[in-house]
């Protein structure tokens, strides 16, 4: 088992920590993102002494699933000619992984909730309850189908969808050889709704249909990028709490249900950028924060209009300093014109087009968690701390790779590049290749 990709580096470390502490986790993510791989990683890293098993909740009917998990007594249903222990009993002192638990019935989920709450269960047809110390972990691509109280029993670890920056490394891994640049470019320009699983199929199709000409004799230079998993998790939770309910309520009627959270690259942590520019109103980028504040006010108004209570944190609109022809203030409240939803949709489109979604989500997060932006004190995100775990030679090599890729992507103009790094592109290329 091997998990490839920068988007999963920090998540793998988190999974190992949770497994070490025997914490119940729920992996959520789109289809094809590798939830089963992360469940396997958790099982591998756990030191529990009992058996460790998986079961696919979507592959069995409710009665058969309950029998498989909880067992049954003789005569509990037609065909139950003898007593049978379920997987919870089989995995005592171990782990039972429930894959696709979002496809299970509410009745089965209620039974699992009982196990999580009281460490006990009842086999089918039995009157008494049995104690268990089996650890449950789970995964689903339909977290909205889970009972709210059941989700609260797990530590939720969202798995990122396929990131464009990981496609070259994944494609090279799947095919086992360096690829021609045009092949990597073609693969990277496609969309993959099935995420990594769909990318793997596309790579296999290329190999079958185009043969050996897709491979290169030169080792691919795979540009590195940084995926901040902790920001991803913070942002997706903020989106699900504050923006998704608005889209669910209005999206279909107004035809903007296509908008869903997307991780966008950002140089540093947006929270720090917001704090700095909030206190520097003469600073040019403050205009962006100004527009995001406007978007936030619209969100509050739509929430009120939709009767979605307390989706967003409260805001003192008198101190925001924003007003336009569609908005007016009366005793701290806002009255909205009939085109409020269209304004919301247009603002959301602009935020996606300008790649400023991290700022909007950061702004809402700070308001939700601290009720202020200026008083928030967020530590700087340590992007390259994993280098400290490498030996010095490996750390130098890895750092130079990040340094090279960062500057090559940032400075397209050769004069700007030379001014920034103190050498021209040819010299930088040679230095990079010598160290690889």
Where in the chain are the domains? 6-158, 164-214, 261-370, 385-434
340: its two tokens:
């409020």
Q: Say if CB 160 and CB 232 are below 8 A apart.
A: yes
Sorted by sequence, the CB contacts under 8 Å of residue 378 that are 6+ apart come out as 269, 271, 272, 275
Sorted by sequence, the CB contacts under 8 Å of residue 295 that are 6+ apart come out as 344, 347, 348, 351, 360
Per-residue DSSP letter, 423: S
Nearest of 78, 36, 79 to residue 55 by alpha carbon: 36
List the pLDDT tens digit at each of the 436 positions of the chain.
689 999 999 999 999 999 999 999 999 999 999 999 999 999 999 999 999 999 999 999 998 899 899 988 876 666 666 788 899 999 999 999 999 999 999 999 999 999 999 999 988 878 788 999 999 999 999 999 999 999 999 999 999 999 999 999 999 999 999 999 999 999 999 999 999 999 999 999 999 999 999 999 888 777 778 899 999 999 999 998 888 888 887 788 778 888 999 999 887 788 888 877 766 656 566 677 777 777 776 676 666 555 555 555 554 443 433 334 344 333 333 344 346 777 778 888 888 988 889 988 998 888 877 766 665 554 444 467 778 878 898 888 888 888 888 788 778 788 888 888 888 888 888 888 887 7
- Superfamily (CATH) of domain 6-158: P-loop containing nucleotide triphosphate hydrolases (3.40.50.300)
Backbone φ and ψ of 333, nearest 5°: -105, 170
Nearest of 132, 92, 83, 127 to residue 112 by alpha carbon: 132
CA distance 318 to 334: 10
91: its two tokens:
């995995």
Radius of gyration for the chain, computed over Cα atoms and rounded to the nearest angstrom: 26
Per-residue DSSP letter, 215: B
pTM > 0.85: yes or no: no
DSSP string, 107-171: HHHHHHHHHHHHSEE--BT-SS-EE--PEEEEEES-GGGS-HHHHTTSEEEEPPPPPGGGHHHHH
């Amino acid at each position: 088992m091997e998990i490839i990709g920068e988007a999963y580096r920090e998540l793998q470390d988190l999974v190992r920590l949770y497994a070490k502490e025997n914490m119940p986790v729920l992996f959520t993510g789109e289809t094809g993102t590798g939830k089963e791989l992360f469940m396997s990683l958790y099982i591998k890293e756990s030191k529990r002494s009992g058996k460790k098993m998986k079961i696919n909740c979507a592959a069995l009917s409710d009665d058969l699933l309950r029998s498989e998990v909880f067992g049954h007594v003789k005569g509990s249903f037609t065909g139950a000619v003898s007593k049978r222990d379920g997987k919870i009993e089989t995995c005592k002192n171990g782990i039972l992984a429930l894959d696709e638990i979002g496809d299970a019935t509410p009745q089965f989920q209620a039974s699992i909730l009982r196990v999580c709450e009281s460490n006990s269960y009842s086999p089918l047809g039995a009157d008494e309850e049995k104690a268990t110390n089996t650890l449950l972990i789970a995964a689903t691509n339909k977290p909205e189908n889970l009972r709210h109280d059941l989700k609260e029993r797990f530590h939720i670890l969202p798995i990122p969808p396929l990131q464009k920056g990981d496609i070259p490394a994944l494609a090279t891994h799947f095919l086992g050889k360096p690829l021609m640049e045009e092949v990597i470019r073609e693969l990277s320009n496609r969309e993959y709704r099935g995420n990594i699983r769909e990318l793997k199929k596309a790579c296999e199709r290329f190999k079958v249909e185009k043969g050996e000409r897709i491979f290169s004799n030169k080792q691919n230079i795979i540009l590195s990028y940084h995926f901040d998993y902790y920001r991803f998790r913070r942002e997706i939770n903020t989106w699900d709490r504050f923006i998704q309910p608005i889209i669910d309520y209005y999206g279909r009627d107004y035809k903007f249900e296509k908008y869903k959270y997307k991780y966008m690259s950002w140089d540093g942590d947006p929270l720090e950028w917001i704090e700095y520019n909030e206190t520097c109103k003469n600073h040019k980028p403050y205009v962006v924060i100004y527009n995001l504040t406007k978007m936030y006010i619209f969100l509050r108004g739509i929430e009120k209009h939709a009767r979605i209570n307390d989706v967003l944190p409260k805001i003192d609109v008198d101190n925001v300093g924003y007003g336009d022809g569609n908005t007016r203030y009366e005793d701290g409240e806002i009255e909205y014109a009939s085109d409020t939803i269209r304004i919301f949709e247009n603002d959301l489109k602009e935020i996606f087009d300008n790649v400023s979604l991290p700022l909007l989500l950061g702004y809402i997060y700070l308001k939700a968690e601290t009720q202020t932006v200026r008083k928030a004190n967020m530590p700087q995100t340590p992007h390259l701390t994993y280098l400290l775990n490498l030996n010095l030679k490996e750390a130098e090599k890895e750092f130079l790779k990040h340094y090279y890729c960062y500057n090559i992507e940032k400075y397209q103009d050769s004069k700007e590049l030379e001014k920034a790094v103190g050498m021209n592109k040819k010299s930088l290329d040679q230095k990079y290749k010598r160290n690889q």
